[in-house]
Structure 1
Amino acid sequence: MENIREILMKYIRKNNMSHSRFSELAGINSGTLSRILQGSRPISVRQLDSITKAMGLAEDFLFDAYVEECFAFFVSIRRIRPFILRCAELGRLDCIERIVPHVLDNLSYAPPLFDVAEELFASKHHQAAALLYDNVSKGEKFQHSERLALCRYRLFLIGLGTDLESNYRAAMVFEDYVNRLHEADQLDALKRLIDVLVTVHKWKRVDELAEEMLRISQIQYELQHAGESEKKPEKPIYFYILYGWLVRSAVCEEYKDYAGALRYVSLYAKADWIREDDEEARFLINQFVEWGKANTYLYQLWSGGADALHNYANFVADHPEEIFVALSNIVQAANQFGFDIDDILERFKAYTPFQAIEGRYGQYNKSILGEKYAQFLSDLGVYKFKKDPKNPGNAINLILEGLDFSVKINSVRNMITCMTLFEQYRDYADQEEKMKFKKLASEVHRINAEKNVVPLSFV
């Protein structure tokens, strides 16, 4: 491969151009250009951009050659950093892949490369950042450092997507690094882990992590007000205390311990201990108070209280951001206790398509909403079938829609639920519905065969 100087000299000769003329075109001092061409001066990224533009080339045309330039004189992070940032901007991850391992031949460069990765992460160049985090973490794999833990945390965050089982595996890989993080980062990391584990219904571990979140956040809250806490988490520390109680109430709900769930509601719905009194504090306190009211109705409903059904529906009608979550709970309760909820379903029908849910529920974790929607479709199918067994088409279509959506987000638990329900109702399905099921079932088997793994949600 020709180096940049050779390419530049050919261009100058081909165009019968003097060095001084090219220096004018490129906006580079003629003496500087001369030293560059003589090979006595390295080329900066700013100069690279100027040369490329003056030659009328694509912005990244000389990037492959510049990889070699990075190491032609001496390794300089001041020169390499802007090049990595430019590669990220233009999507040249291949150049970053070539540079980073070479730089890390000397592990003393791990800290500055980590800083570059943090810049990329902050500017949302996540895939480029991941290359740096991965290489830095490999270089420090025998160190029990906070920087190693932060690399693994960032890789965990970058890896999160719509595939629930993939998210779960990423969480399992990262979990061992949580306690190496600074306490402020631990709070954020614990919340992220909890959100992932909720989607695969690992409730025992969810409760353990929520308990740890409460322990750390309560200590940090006191330290903060004693003036001994420096680094701050993403959200105010009191948020993690409230969120920990909210999560523990959800765990109690899952285990049908509604009295225990209500005890936690009384904690997060009464926030007179919070010392902050700014706009954010008032907003968050009000949000948890509203969740407390909604969940009080919910736990009364789960206890079989028919009176709570319409009280719950009327309450969330004034809180549109809660309607879908409430509706999914109402459908489950209707299946359990035989409630007639046709009027409620009609009242809130505009809130059930997933596109509407995605747009309305910004405060909820996307993966949690996706998993809840997949479950909602199968639950609604069961309700429709029980309500009108002589007209099963609607119920079967809902179950197939639930299976299709579960495949898209790789929710193994919901795939199994939908496939089991379809087999239960198979005799009521027409030929077209059976063919659709067969196609979706083949997709489930294909996914499992490609991954070649046991579904971790059921290990």
Structure 2
Amino acid sequence: MSRTTTISAILNDFMIQEGLNLRKFAEQVGINIGSLSYILNENRTLKMEQLDRITAVMGLPEGYFYNQYYDEVIAGSPPNWRKIKPFLYGCVEVGNLDLLLKTVQQLLDNLIYSPHLFEVAEDLNKNNKKEAAIILYENVAQSERHQHSERLALCQYRLFMCELENNQEKNYQAALQFELFVDRLGEYDQLEALKDLANTYRALSRWNKLEEIAERLKQIAQFLYQKGPKYDSDYKWHRPLFTYIAYANLLLGDVYEHKRDYEKTLQYIQLYNDLDWVKEQDEETVKWKEKFQDWAKMNTMVTKLAAGDASVLADYLAYMESNHDEVLLSLLNIIEFANRYHFNIDDILQRFDIPSLIIKHKSLNKVYTRQIIGGHIARFNNELCSYYLNKGGYRDGLNYLLNTLNKSVFISEKHCIFRLLGQYHFSYNDQHSGMKIISTNVQETSS
């Protein structure tokens, strides 16, 4: 087929080959006979839904005519959003992202189409068409790079969230890059953005950055809450406003727990446990208050364990076994406690099928982001490795060491990698008999 052949000429040839008259062909493709006549005579352009029906009747692959439709209709005439919008969605559905990009770049020669393309990107993102949404966000952001607009900041925010992946170093660079745009967002969108930034820094164990972002989140949320619900009643909240204040306190508690300032940690826990100041009483508010109070109960026990108080271990185990989605994280806290204070927890570890716990935790993408889940699993294997090596269980320790090293390399978690290499060096220097087991197990694993 020659590229100069028009779609209407191809349709006329098809009708001749199949022995179809205008009426029969119109019936098959579900188009009014008069409209079809105009199309075949090139007096009217095809709509996208008509083109798709015709393609199906002709037995051709979906999207077969899209490149030609672009040449004839999209590029061959002045921009018409009513035609271009369904064409963009069509390109996404058939996976022709090169043509999607080509169309978007042509359209953005005129900035009046930037808001329309942003709306399409938002819809694609909402419907999990991430790869296509990224193309639109990137090009809208590029077209508005000199505008300093809120839409530019929103594009950067969406790109940041879409492009988070398992590579922790790349995630860190992406977070630093996006942080430059947060202040350009509206105050309400800033809350969600700061929360997502905080979660990223938390997953990366970047505690100084986490503290900085959590303080900003708390300050803005408190300001908006004091303004009251009438400050912007039209805004569609992602979650109740008070939760951002409570969550900022939770994050700050994490920061001080990492610093081993357990008194300060417990003070922050009390702040998100005591929510009597919350004025709202609707069902969603009650649900969130219960969540934070439940987290406060759990984190109080975790903090006391971290401080060396073994008296809460029985209560913590009971809590852990009643909260099935949190078992792996709870067990991680117990292993860290055992490593720090040299407790024997063999009887606790024997209660659980650890490989199954890890598999289940990987599926919690509605609770945790994938980079947080990856970090959890790397830390879990890391702590188990330390536990077994410290008590002379070199075969088990090596298995977890290799699992952690593999996971840490995969997510570019340098902190875990250096710690693991340090543990391996320790075993070599101080446990020669154990080194024989390690060497044998390495060969078994590699084979």
Cα 1:354–1:436 change in 2 (3 A) is same
SS in 1 for 2:146: coil
| Aligned position for 2:348 | 344
After superposition, what is the alpha-carbon deviation per residue over 1:244-284, rounded to whole angstroms, capped at 9, x for unaligned? 00000000111111111111111001111222223322222
| Aligned position for 2:406 | 404
| Aligned position for 1:455 | none
CA deviation after TM superposition for structure 1 residue 434, in Å: 3.6
| Aligned position for 1:8 | 11
CA deviation after TM superposition for structure 1 residue 315, in Å: 3.2
The farther-off stretch of 129-138 and 212-221 is: 212-221
CA deviation after TM superposition for structure 1 residue 218, in Å: 1.6
2:112 and 2:230 mapped to 1: Cα distance? 37
Work out whether 1:433 is the aligned partner of 2:433: no
SS in 2 for 1:353: helix
After superposition, what is the alpha-carbon deviation per residue over 1:309-349, rounded to whole angstroms, capped at 9, x for unaligned? 33332333333333322221221121111122222222344
Report the TM-score when normalising by structure 1.
Answer: 0.89
Amino acid corresponding to residue 394 of structure 1 in structure 2: D
| Aligned position for 1:178 | 182
Work out whether 1:147 is the aligned partner of 2:155: no
Matches within 5 A, 1:261-276: 261-276=265-280
1:425 and 1:13 mapped to 2: Cα distance? 81
Report the TM-score when normalising by structure 2.
Answer: 0.91
1:235 and 1:7 mapped to 2: Cα distance? 54
Cα 1:232–1:241 change in 2 (3 A) is farther
1:210 and 1:364 mapped to 2: Cα distance? 18
Give the one of 319, 322, 327 matched to 1:318.
322
Matches within 5 A, 1:245-256: 245-256=249-260
Amino acid corresponding to residue 113 of structure 1 in structure 2: L
1:350 and 1:438 mapped to 2: Cα distance? 22
| Aligned position for 1:284 | 288
Give the one of 117, 122, 145 matched to 1:118.
122
Cα 1:176–1:166 change in 2 (3 A) is same
2:239 and 2:172 mapped to 1: Cα distance? 24
CA deviation after TM superposition for structure 1 residue 213, in Å: 0.9
* 8 Å CA contact 1:183, 1:216 repeated in 2: yes
1:228 and 1:116 mapped to 2: Cα distance? 25
* 8 Å CA contact 1:249, 1:260 repeated in 2: yes
| Aligned position for 2:173 | 169
1:71 and 1:398 mapped to 2: Cα distance? 58
| Aligned position for 1:413 | 415
* 8 Å CA contact 2:157, 2:193 repeated in 1: yes
- Taking only the aligned residue pairs, the percentage that are identical comes to 35
* 8 Å CA contact 2:257, 2:303 repeated in 1: yes
2:172 and 2:340 mapped to 1: Cα distance? 29
1:93 and 1:113 mapped to 2: Cα distance? 15
CA deviation after TM superposition for structure 1 residue 201, in Å: 1.2
1:321 and 1:26 mapped to 2: Cα distance? 52
The farther-off stretch of 287-296 and 405-414 is: 405-414
Amino acid corresponding to residue 23 of structure 2 in structure 1: S
| Aligned position for 1:448 | none
1:360 and 1:257 mapped to 2: Cα distance? 30
| Aligned position for 1:393 | 395
Work out whether 1:135 is the aligned partner of 2:143: no
CA deviation after TM superposition for structure 1 residue 212, in Å: 1.0
Work out whether 1:79 is the aligned partner of 2:80: no
Work out whether 1:45 is the aligned partner of 2:48: yes
| Aligned position for 1:454 | none
SS in 2 for 1:273: coil
1:203 and 1:251 mapped to 2: Cα distance? 6
Work out whether 1:33 is the aligned partner of 2:36: yes
CA deviation after TM superposition for structure 1 residue 435, in Å: 4.7
Cα 1:328–1:101 change in 2 (3 A) is same
RMSD: 2.2
1:72 and 1:436 mapped to 2: Cα distance? 65
Amino acid corresponding to residue 424 of structure 2 in structure 1: F
After superposition, what is the alpha-carbon deviation per residue over 1:87-139, rounded to whole angstroms, capped at 9, x for unaligned? 21222212202211011111221111111111211222111111111111110
CA deviation after TM superposition for structure 1 residue 214, in Å: 0.9
1:97 and 1:432 mapped to 2: Cα distance? 54
1:279 and 1:351 mapped to 2: Cα distance? 38
Structure 2: state its 5+ residue gaps. none
